[in-house]
Amino acid sequence: MIEPLDNLVNALCQLPTIGKKTALRLALHLLERPQEELDMLSQCIASIKSSIVVCKRCFNYGTTDLCDVCSSTARDTSVICVVEKPQDVLVFERTGIFRGLYHVMGGVLSPINGITADKLRIEELRARLAGGEVRELVLGLGASAEAETTCLYLARVFSGMKLKITLLARGVPAGTELEYIDQITLNQALHERVEISYKVES
């Protein structure tokens, strides 16, 4: 293959879900587009890291210190939905039915991969809950084994607080990452979320 095309194909191959064949198809497609369109695309890619910041309150992506959700006055500040990654915020936002705030954990517990509790944003969440305004914590972490372990861990950590802790209903198929769940299923899982508690029976 001619070198510039080969370079582009190799660069595109670094992207998730893009194999060599798809990369070549994309590269040839780009070759046929007008120069302005390519300049625009390059510009978007080149500036993505400097133009997007992590929200200092919930760790969602935004363009200012506080993300759109945190800076909105139309949100219910008494509910926080805990999610694994910023993409999951988009998944919940697409449903349009969740009106609370978020807290992006930055992962789920996976000791085998070195993700222990201290690597997650648990202390930051604790600080937010300490204000006393939050009445419900929705654990929206998906249904992988690691996500479930994380939910149980969080339920235990925050069990002493005056707080309702809820889990998404079982509509979410086991092992599924949140971003692959269809909207109807997620709507239902949100609507039918169930409370979990860690109270020791005496």
Looking at residue 25, its amino acid is: R
Q: Which is nearer to Zn ion, 39 or 65 (CB)?
A: 65
Q: Which is nearer to Zn ion, 55 or 165 (CB)?
A: 55
What is the H or E stretch that residue 184 is in? helix 183-191
**Cα–Cα distance, 192 to 8 (Å, whole number):** 47
**Cα–Cα distance, 122 to 114 (Å, whole number):** 16
- Residues that bind Zn ion (rule: CB under 5 A) add up to a total of 6
Smallest separation, CB 70 to Zn ion (Å): 3
Q: Which is nearer to Zn ion, 27 or 137 (CB)?
A: 137
Interface with Zn ion, residue 70, by CB under 5 A: yes
Q: Find the binder of Zn ion among 9, 27, 67, 109 (CB under 5 A).
A: 67
Determine the longest span between alpha carbons in the chain, in angstroms. 75
To the nearest 10 degrees (0 to 180), the angle between helices 145-157 and 122-129 is: 40
Burial 83-111 (b: 16+ CB within 10 A, else e): bbbbebbebbeebeebebbbbbbbbbbbe
Smallest separation, CB 180 to Zn ion (Å): 24
Interface with Zn ion, residue 82, by CB under 5 A: no
Interface with Zn ion, residue 27, by CB under 5 A: no
Convert residues 28-57 into a mask of x (bound to Zn ion by CB under 5 A) and - (unbound): ---------------------------x-x
CA distances from 130 to 18, 41, 95, 125 (A): 44, 44, 28, 9
Interface with Zn ion, residue 166, by CB under 5 A: no
Interface with Zn ion, residue 134, by CB under 5 A: no
Interface with Zn ion, residue 60, by CB under 5 A: yes
Provide the binding-site residues for Zn ion, judged by CB under 5 A.
55, 57-58, 60, 67, 70
